[in-house]
Chains A and B, each alone.
Chain A
Amino acid sequence: MPIIMPVGTFMVNWITATITFLQQNISHNLTIFIVICIMLVVSGIIVNIIWPGDRPGTIFSKGIEKIEELEGKVDISEKKDIMDEVRRCKDCGNPIGDAEVCSLCGARN
């Protein structure tokens, strides 16, 4: 096993180093491991409630919906061109506003 054995040696080295470190620092006190386990389970439950995976998250989806709604409104208002609402000359199309006579072609509107 020319490849597996050196890799195994590497694995054994880091595992031994980690276990030695743990034994020197966290020995004979299970509390920290119990706390880690409980934290993992609780955070797993919370994360699953927020992001179940088969649909958008329950808490943040409302916010996203609102943002999309607002973006939609902005799009609609952007589509309405203010220039369309200005009166134009019937003959040349020049914007005349409230004026009766077109300043460009002189046509009466």
Chain B
Amino acid sequence: MGATKNMIRGTIYTSVYVVTTIILPFLFFNWVRNLEIPSLGEITLTQESYENIIFWIVAFGLIISGCAFFSYSSPKQSIRRAVFALIQVIVNCLYLWSYKFSGATEILFTFNISGYPGFLSLNLQTMVLVYMGVYFLTIVLKIYDLVDFSINRKKIRENRMKA
């Protein structure tokens, strides 16, 4: 019964990760490639290579989803759960970097409103650094979990068997 329950939980979380890390970003990037708002004119999001970004979104999304299955289908407070949660966070860093920021810290919007062309530049350098710093703390937390579960392995297992 435990194994079936674990796998159902893993499948649910994997589905959530597939939708949020692969399907939705893929659709969004395809849609935003050539965004046209009739009242404002044509707005184009300029990035170096969309194909490259989409490729890495799907690639890292697949690994994240696989890790999510392994992690969430594992028993709570187990060492294997902690290991795969840590791997998932690390891959998530790569994933975020590849799709949110795509290796560049500047995003350029060009627009043309009623014959008046212009551009808008967003500098995301500080935001990226803060965001990545927060992610570093998440990695530290996951490492702490792993050490904690390894040290208290016997106690955790006894409690789990009792429940």
Contact = CB atoms under 8 A, between A and B. Distances in A.
Interface string A24-59: 000110100110111111011101110011110000
Main secondary structure of the interface of B (DSSP, over half): helix
B29 interface: no
Contact of A4 (B73, B94, B98, B130): B130
B58 interface: yes
Interface stretch (B30-38, B109-117, B133-141, B143-151): B133-141
Contact of B129 (A4, A38, A54): A4
Given A16-B103, A49-B3, A53-B160, A39 B133 contact: no
Interface in B59-106: 59-60, 62-63, 65-67, 69-70, 73-76, 78, 80, 93-94, 97-98, 103
B136 A10 contact: yes
B163 interface: yes
A45 to B, nearest CB: 6
Interface residues of B, number: 45
A54 B103 CA distance: 44
Given A12-B128, A48-B74, 13 more contacts: A1-B129, A9-B129, A10-B136, A15-B94, A30-B58, A33-B63, A36-B66, A39-B66, A40-B69, A44-B7, A44-B74, A45-B7, A49-B3
The 10 closest A-B pairs by CB, nearest first: A53-B75, A40-B66, A8-B129, A4-B133, A52-B2, A11-B132, A8-B133, A37-B66, A52-B3, A54-B2
